[in-house]
Structure formats: C-alpha cells, structure tokens
Structure 1
C-alpha cells in the first residue's frame, strides 16, 4: 500500500486525505500548527491518521507521495528534505486531477479570478451542465472528486497551487491578468511569479485553449518569448480580433470557431472595466462549451457578484458604503477606484507586500477626497498620499475608521474600503476584515 503524506490540515489538506483514503492510500496528515476542530472531526470520522503542533520527520520521510498545502513554501526544510530524497511533492489540484476524467476549466490571475470563476460556474450551471466549482474558492477539489460525479469543474487556481503541478492539464485555461503580487514567495523576482502563472498552460496541447487579457503587456510580452501549444483566445477593451472577445460600440462581441455572439454591455450586472474583462473571459469559456447565447446573456444579468469585492453594503444619508476587502493588492484597488462615480472617502492599509502605491496616484487625485489609513504601519501610505489629499487620518480599529469616514462623507459621496494590502496585522483574513466593516456600517 502506497503512503500519502499530507502537509497541512486545512481545506485542501483534508480534502486530499479524504480522496487518498478512498483510493486506497495509507494516509497521514501532519500540520505544524493546530488543526481546526471542524477539520479534525472530518479526519477522525474518516479514520485518517493525523498529528498537529509539529511534524514527525522520520514518518514523513517514508512517504511515497506528498501533497503540501499552498501556504507551505518550497523552501520549507521538510519540503527540501523530501525533494532531495526524490519524493514527489505535489499540490492538491495535481493530485485530484489525476483521478477525474471531468472537463477542467482552470482560472488564474492576480485579480478577477474569483469573480471570473463564479461567473463562469454560474453560466455553465444555467446552461444545464453538471458542474462543480472548487480550488482556491470554497470547497476542496480533491474532496469533490472523492464525493461527487461532476462532468465539469471550474477551478480557481493560485500561483502557489500551480507551483506544485506536474501533469495537470486544463482543457480551458484562463489568465485574467498578471501584476506584482506575493513577490515574497518568488525571491522578489517578478519573472518567477509570471512563470508560475503560465504553468497553467504548460501541459496543454493544440486541442486545448488559453484565454487571456491581450491588453496586459506582461501576458502578451511573456507569450512572445514563451509560446504555448494551446489555441489562444484573447480578450481586449482596446483591440478587435477575428478570433477572440472585444467591445465595439457598447457591445461585447465573442468570436470563436466562426461563431459570433453579441450582447450589450449595458446588460452586465457588474459595473466597471475590470468586470467587463471578467465577463469577456467567462463568455469565451461559455462559447467554447457551446452554451446558448441567450443563456449566456441571461446569466450575465442574473449574476450577483462576489462577497467582499466591490460589495455595496448600505446607503446611509445618501452616502454609499462599499466593501472591497478582497482587494489585497494595488492593482485590485486601482480597479476599485477607477469604478467610483462620486467623491470617495478611501479606507486603505494593512500588511504591505512590498507595494508600490504610485500607480494609484492619478486615481487618487481624481476620485479621493479623504484617506483613512487602517493598519499598524501606515508610513508608506502617508508619505505617498499626504500631499495629494486634504485630509488623512490614521486608525487601528474598523469601528473608528467607519465612524470617521461617516463624519467626513457628504451627501452623494462614497465610502470605499479597498485596502490594497493583506489583512493579517489587525484581522484574521480579508473576509474577517470585510465582515467587521459591514458590522460597523450597520451599527452607524
């Protein structure tokens, strides 16, 4: 019996353990930290061996195969020892994909991947396809392969998950965009991060498709020097294609395999240029899967959007409060500010991942009337923007930030939480940060 060791007892780790057990592996889960009670109960219920609060090195080194959770870097000593010994160390999406014959649609990118994944899943489901949604979003892909019998999967995949693939081959791959993010995991070399994202297409053949943003110079530049074998389907707000997706005279036009469909951009529920791009990517997938044009159109109109991503919370005394806590990098915040229609009080800050805030300067000059820094260390934000806005306040509590914003905002203004940073200085996660913002707004 082959031994599967799972490093990390979170969503992907426990999902992999369930699938491994079902496939007949001898499974051992090891977590350096503590495993959450809910996951521990699943392991106990399934009779899976586990440990927490440290790794039993001698036992782990006996593994035939290791799945490591995306949060564990390749540089971790245990991972290094395994690789030196010649043990295969893979990610959950690699492990699960080996045991399903389903059609895989995989979506990656620095921003927009969650919205694009949810929108694509929504259209496929409305189109009557038997489809599951997993990966970086919601449920573990491996657990789904163990428990369900979906014919299609839409997977949101991160660069960390792609680092651990060997044979993973999506029939349709999407790269929404690539901007500097997580560079601490890539030796602060942007090229390493780009290469990681493009692993999504490394096993694709001429029968597969790569859908990508042709306005993104990082993507188009990389493709020039590193050609892919898959058929390329570009989308753009600026160019037109004989094969691809583009916008002309307020119509979103999808032209693939000599089939063309058109829909008015007015019908898209989600506003903003970045959401037009997410819609383009999703409509390209839908057309490749031969979903009816009317279904695609209806689905775009009925889609509700993603929690913590430009989520309208409440209007209080004609001031709109928007929760964009999922904006954990500068590029995401750029999109948020770009879509603001009214003078904006901007709540920003958190754990800075080596951010360069200068690209936000034109948007801040044009849209932002006041800035509230919500973080432990706001020096960089203050240095960058204090000369551009009239009012800048520092705070370390969400309640205080929301109350100050409420006082500063006039009728017709918008209060936007779009942090451009990770949340871990003051919050458990971006979801926790967004929830606390919504609670504070509702408590006004």
Structure 2
C-alpha cells in the first residue's frame, strides 16, 4: 500500500510534494494510516485534531493519543475542543452535521492563519460506497451518485482508491496503534446501519463489490460530464443575466427535448424541490410563482424570472432633509442641484419647481392604491396601471422607488416624473434631481 500511495501522490497529487499540508487526524485507523503514509512519502504536513466532547473521557483519551502520535511522527499538531451538542442545538441541526460544520470551519481558520495549502482527509472507498447508499435511500439527483470528490477546493482525499480492508491490513502489518470510536458500533446512525448490516450482505452477493461500484461510479461521472457539456451549449440560448437575477426563455425551453431535466440542471443550485411545479410554469398564467427557501421562479410573458425572495427593502423608508446636495442611501445616490435651465433630460434625472417641494422628502416602495399624474399625460393614473402599460415584470415593480413630497409622488424613480411638480413659470427656481446606483 505504501508503494501505491507514493505512486498516487506522484501521478495524481504531485503538487502536495511542494505544499504545506494540514492532515485531519481523529485517531482512528484511517487517519493514523494516512499520517504514516504521508510521513513515508516525505510530505510536509501538520496534524489537526477535533475533540467534539461527545464521548466523555473517551474523547479526551483520543486527544491524548493524537498528541503522542504527533511526538512519535515528529510533526506539529493542533487540537481544538468543541461543545458540539450546544452548537447543534443552537443551529437546529444533527450532531453529525454540527461536528462537520465545526471541523471544516476550524480547518479553514487554521489554513488561513498558518498558510496551509491543503487539508488532507482520510475518506476511503468504503466511505464512498456508504455515501452513495445513503443518497440512494434518501433520494438524490445524479450528482448524489457520483461520489465523494478526491479534490474539493483545498480538501484532498488521497485514500479514496483504497478500501477499509487494505487500510486495516497496512496498520496490522506495520503494528500501528489506533483508537476505536465506540459510536461507530452503534447502528442508531444511518451510516453505521449501512456499514454493518447492508454492505456485508451486498458483499456476500458480490465479493468484488467495491471494484464493481468503482466502475459504475466512473460511468456515472462520465454521464454527468456529458450532461454538463450539453447544458453548457444550451445555457447562452436559454439564460440571460439581469439586474434582478436571471431570465429563462420559455420559447427555447419548450423546443428542446427533456425540458424538465434541463430545468433541473439549470436551477438545481437554487433549492427548488417541486420540479413538476417548476415545469408547469412554462404553460401557467403570467404571475404564477414557485418558491424555494431562498429563491422564487416567476412566470412572466415570455420568460421565467429567477430572483431571490423579496427582501425587507419593501418596508424601508428613507427621509431626505432640505439643504442636502448629495444624499447617499443604501439603495443609491440622489443629487439635488439648483440650476438655471433644463439641459440633459433622461430617466435618471428630473427637473422640478423648487417651491413645490415640501421637505423632508420621503423615498419609499410603491403600494397598492398609489397614483400620480404622469408628466406628459392628462389626469392621474394608478401606479399599478402605469406598470402594466410599461410591461414591467414583478421584480421590476418591486425594485421601483417613489420619491415623495407630503404624500404626493414627485418621481417614480428612473421612470416618470409627476406633472404636479413641473416648472410652469420661467420665474420659478429649478431643482435638478438625479439618481444613480
């Protein structure tokens, strides 16, 4: 195994030979073997051990073992103690997820503070199979079947091609000591139930289970690469970036085969789960929406609009005092300037009669029932009708700000000024108001 490991480093991870590496060490046989293999391969590494304080005295004994191992290997070691149960309770997540979060967050902090290039983890082939079966049982997309990645940013897993049997055989042959985690025996955890009860039966049926699984997973990864290439070709034809998020062209989506699968690949990162509802949006009435925890997908006339869920900005109100020339707000910058004449007219600039302004001015979002007197038109108009005439999408409506004076709309910002504030007499002082992001 030592020879195979050195060859793996040389061919697949040659950059580790010149890198400063942090090795995640639990004290179990997997990470202990990885530490000895790294020593044999002459890698420049330190070790990091997490004490999650979940098994009382046993957790502390694990830490003592790791400290002694570091002395034996003559490598630097870092240890950290966590109140994992309290973290899990506060975050409302499982103990396993809490331990994972704490572990990787600490590794990242160590890497940043001490300039480690990579973190080595001792995941092996059996871990990969277990993860596959967990995802199969819980339900997953194709990505859930493609396995643990040997490289994931700065996390490197150089033992993924080795089985648990090979690792334990190496440890026994070299008379290595390690710690047994008593929780690994309990079948109350899904992974342990799969490890101790399901996989042994599968291996009875097929003694070459891991080898066959590796081939299957290789084919799945090739299929995923093919899908990614296909989506890459379609992307520019379907998707365009906007100031609100993304727009997906409905006409193009309807023409391509396997539309629902394409929608899944395009939108899978945004947390949607009701894929039938997502697909049905293509033929739904304008305004129909599907939500994930973080985003929403809106059926507009010719596109599906993907945006984040509306923020609290809809309830924000800003006050602008008299005499301020430049007003910096979280939503943009307003400039107030007295001028002698009207010059550059655009959606971003209006000119009003200064005497018509009643300070402080208010900047707010539109509400149902709002109306104004659009400059250049006769009479008043409901803002909802004005938006409809301009064919604004829901996100565009939500992004509209109203500049108001004494409950009257001065300006639907970047769209239209109100005629009630227009300059009607040459003797009136002119106020130029400009908005920019």
Which structure has the larger Rg?
A: 2
Alignment TM-score > 0.5, same fold: no
TM-score by length of 1: 0.24
**TM-score, normalised by the number of residues in structure 2:** 0.25
